[in-house]
Amino acid sequence: MSKRDIGFSSYLKDFLHNKIGLAGLIILVVLLIFTGIALSVPSHVYASWNNPAAWSEYPEHVPPAWLSIFYPNKYFTTVKLSPTNVSLYSPAKNLYISSITFEFNWSKTLPAYNVYFIISTNASPIEEVLYWTKPDGNTLQINIPSEEFNVPFDLTSIRNNILSYISSITGKTPNIVNSTVLSSALFNSPKSNLTLTEEGKYIVKVEIVSSKQINVSKANILLLGNSYGLMGTDYFGRPLDLGVLLGLPNALEIGALTSLVSVVVGIIVGGISGYLGGNKDSLIQWVTLVFLALPALPFLVAVSFVTQPSLELEALLIAFLSWPFYAIIARSMALSIKSNSYVEADKLLGIPSYRVFFTHFMPRLIPITVAYMALGVPAGILLAQTLAFLGIAPANIVTWGGILDAAETYQAQVNGWWWWVVFPGAMIVIVAIPFVLIGFAVERITLGER
Amino acid sequence: MGYGTYVAKKVLIYFSVLIATLTILYIFTFPVLQEVIAKSINFQVSQFAQSLLKNSHNLNTTQVQLSIEKYRETLIAAYGLNEPIINKYFIQMYNLLRFDFGTAYFIQAPSGSREVSAIIAYYLPNTILLFTTATIIFILIGTIIGLLSAKSRFWEKVIAIIAVIHSSIPTWWLGFVLIAALAYAVRIFPSGGMTSVPPPKNPFDYGLSVLYHMSLPLITIFIVNVGGFAYIVRSLVSSIMKEDFVITAKARGLPDSRILYRHVLRTASPSIATQAILAIAGSLGGSLTTEVVFEWPGVGLLTYIAITLNDLPVILGVTYVLTIVLLIGLFLGELIYGILDPRIKVGE
């Protein structure tokens, strides 16, 4: 033990003078601010995370948007177009035609990732036709199937017309039909056999034919980019930056709860065990060993089949398994405190043992308790995320482990979707680091520099 | 107390710990266990019925029904399903100690057996091969770095950084990233599995192939664990450095390295051994997911498959087996501790 004073304010002063500890504290404050932001996200966003339909207007498995800074020709973000002209005319009685025109300039060497049409009217149309005019004047006519009226739809919903256009130009139908292939038909020049993108002004006209007066309530075209947001999107188009943010509160909660319970229980059990000694110590050590021998991961997996654990229950189960580690440490600490001469002196003076425990043991155990509480948070977070990675997580919450599980399932590593693997995992590390730093700083202050 | 008495005492303690741990597992998994046993009985009855229908053509339907019912009742009695809970407990404990974990729902061992113990027996050696190799490597190198850091400021700084990494990186995630980088982007290492497909026939080539497939998981486990272990060694060593006998040795003018390796290391070795055993225990339990990422055909991958298939008997079996493996590890640790700690040998 160091010879410095025991007292809260002196610990705090030392802590604030410690660079490592201060750095940890600052990161923690930043994380708490983000937690506040995450908690203010409306609950329906959390609920829609596992619903793929909610993310259909987002580009699927695209890298982060900031890549466009490094590769301006290769990466671009989604462009939302508003109509430049909406006209309505009635060529005959009970026949109304609404024509919505969009115009945009395309100067990228790649076609848009996908094109999303959001057009809704008050009437149910008889017919809806799309005219896609390329810069060189070529016009592609696409008849929209009736089931797509008034519903946002993308290129895969209108693939038949586009495929016949592709085969009319290249002379063969493509083997793989995905949004990229379909989009290349809209953006690439027919002269180059649809391999080169045409740059210039595109005009898109949507004609809606109806028997009633048409009132267009919404008309937009999304030219989906091949990059999105800060962290890209996953296989379903879910933006990963949102997922990472939504995963923050529960990670912190489970880490804090686990560490609080397991460290307090462990230090009390271990401290008493080392303090009492003798047969009682042997008995407590035996109990500690029993819990130490339970393999955490399989045990939690097996138990989660009995009850579907909530977040709090999962934290308590993890704490139930991890307190022995702290008990072992606290016991050895207590043993070393016990060998000090002032403890022996108190015993000789006939001071009751509970008072000796509170005056000499607890004050010396509390700082180390704080240190291990901080160090215990990452352990809890890691175990909880590992469980989520195995597909065992409390229902209706977003976890980074769960996101990584999906990345594993959809073979993100094989497909080169590195952002899907790197960012959620890096968040586990980023959340763990401040606690580790704070724990190390407190440990160093209490045990003293060598 | 000699070493023999010490061992005998430890054997008793560890056996009682085993029983207590299995009891806790039993209490926590009681409801699913009943379900597992009921399904297992149904499976065995249906197998019995099939063989009966195939082999005995001279029986009429009532006789067949009767013998099937009789068989079901003997099975229910054998598993103690209709008995009081205390009897159920003893039957289950007896079965567990005999490594009888029941029949898997879906998973089969390569031999075709659906016995959970046979399935685990096939996968467990692979897990032990990977994790013991990894643990031995990181403990050896961790001890060396820990000792070096007790001497030099530079190594101390390095250790602090890698100890932070140790406490904050999930092994499976690092594995994930390394696979993406080193197996798919730059094709240096295989992406997963234990041998190349098809496995080489020649035993030497086979061993080489296993080593090649093991290298990336080994690197991953090493990176994550070496810092934490070195940090533990460093704090053990630096606390011993303050002891009187080290100061005396310094006063006698002995060279630093001699003090470090002869005096300090010898005193610290029992504690290092204990910490090493705890590290093995921790790494085995927590790194099972590493196998999932590397498709290493061990118990972890088996557990993952069992989770996706909802194959409860396998999950329960894995939990029991890992408890036993962990206890054996801790027990061996105590034995090593007994050998290294001079006080036990002398009989203090």
pLDDT tens string B41-99: 888 888 888 888 777 777 777 888 888 888 888 888 877 777 788 888 888 888 888 88
Q: How far is residue B138 from each of residues A288, B172, B224, B275, B297, measured CA to CA in Å?
A: 26, 17, 9, 12, 22
**What pLDDT score does A165 carry?**
86
In whole angstroms, how far apart are CA A27 and each of A15, A375, A385, B149, B245? 15, 15, 20, 27, 43
SS3 B103: strand
A297: nearest CB among B16, B17, B286:
B286
Interface test with A, best of B13, B24, B28, B292 (most A CBs within 10 A): B28
Distance CA B190, CA B180 (A): 11
Helical H runs in chain B? 3-55, 61-79, 85-97, 116-151, 153-168, 171-178, 203-241, 244-251, 256-258, 265-286, 288-294, 299-309, 312-340, 342-346
Handedness of CA B162, A261, A266, A272 (dihedral sign): positive
- What sign does the CA torsion over B270, B275, B280, B281 have? positive
Choosing among A31, A306, A430, which should be mutated to test the B contact, i.e. which has the most B CBs within 10 A? A306
Contact yes or no for A204/A130 (Cβ under 8 A):
yes
Q: Which residue has the higher pLDDT, B57 or B155?
A: B155
- Highest mean pLDDT, choosing among A159-163, A317-321, B28-32: A317-321
Query: How far is residue A22's CA from residue B5's CA, in Å, rounded to a whole number?
Result: 52
Q: Does B293 touch chain A (CB under 8 A)?
A: yes
Confidence at B336, pLDDT banded by 50, 70, 90: confident
The confidence score (pLDDT) of residue B242 equals 77
Distance in Å, alpha carbon of A429 to nearest chain B alpha carbon = 5
Q: Which residues, in sequence order, are CB contacts of A270 under 8 Å at separation 6+? A: A284, A288, A326, A327, A328, A329, A330, A331, A333, A334
Q: Residue A220 pairs with which residues in a beta bridge?
A: A118
Q: Count chain A–chain B contacts defined by CB atoms under 8 A.
A: 149
Angle CA A259–A265–A267, to nearest 5: 90
Confirm if B107 and B314 have CB atoms less than 8 A apart. Answer: yes
The model's pLDDT over B157-191, given as tens digits with 9 standing for 90+, comes to 778 787 887 778 888 899 989 998 898 888 888 88
By 3-state DSSP, what share of chain A in percent is helix, strand and coil, each rounded to 5?
A: 55, 15, 30
User: Of A238, A180, A225, A240, whose CA–CA distance to A53 is shortest?
Assistant: A238
Mean model confidence pLDDT for chain B = 84
Rounded (5°) CA angle B138-B144-B146: 90
How large is the angle between the packed helices A362-389 and A418-447, nearest 10 degrees? 170
DSSP class of residue A91 equals E
Q: A278 burial class (0-12, 13-18, 19+ CB within 10 angstroms)?
A: exposed
pTM exceeding 0.90:
no
3-state secondary structure of A203: strand
Return d(Cα A353, Cα B178) in angstroms, integer. Answer: 55
Question: For A57-61, B123-127, B299-303, which range has the lowest pLDDT when averaged over its residues?
Answer: A57-61
Tell me: pLDDT of B287 over 90. no
Residue A1 has pLDDT above 90, yes or no: no
A117: CB partners within 8 A, 6+ apart: A130, A152, A153, A154, A206, A220, A221, A222
Distance of CA A379 to CAs A259, A325, B76, B119, B247, Å? 8, 11, 43, 31, 37
Shortest Cα distance, chain A CAs vs residue B303, angstroms: 8
Does the structure show a pLDDT above 50 at A373? yes
Residue of A nearest to B241 (CA): A450
Tell me the pLDDT band of A29, cut-offs 50, 70 and 90. Answer: very high
For residue A341, the model assigns a pLDDT of 79
Inter-chain CB proximity A295 and B285 less than 8 Å: yes
Query: Helix (H, G, I), strand (E, B), or coil: what is residue A12?
Result: helix
Q: What is the pLDDT of residue A244?
A: 93
Sign of the torsion angle spanned by Cα atoms B236, B241, B244, B246? positive
CB B319 within 8 A of CB B22: no
Alpha-carbon span B132 to B61, nearest angstrom: 57
- C-alpha A199: how far from its chain's center? 37
Query: Which of chain A's residues have a Cβ under 8 Å away from the Cβ of B278?
Result: 325, 328
CA distance B259 to B150: 12
One-letter identity of residue B207: G
| Start-end of H helices in A277-361 | 278-292, 296-306, 311-338, 341-348, 353-356
For residue B276, the 8-state DSSP code is H
Convert the pLDDT of each residue in B118-134 to its tens digit.
999 999 888 888 888 88
pLDDT, tens digit, 9 for 90 and up, residues A306-363: 888 888 899 999 999 889 988 988 888 888 788 777 878 887 888 887 888 777 777 7
Q: Is B102 helix (H, G, I), strand (E, B) or coil?
A: coil
Q: ipTM of this predicted complex?
A: 0.84
Dist CA A307 CA A404 (whole Å): 24
pLDDT of A3: 45
> Which of A97, A189, A188, A206 minimizes the C-alpha distance to A141?
A206
Residues 187-216 of B with CB under 8 A from A: 191
Residue B266 has pLDDT above 60, yes or no: yes
CA dist B110 and B64 (Å) reads 33
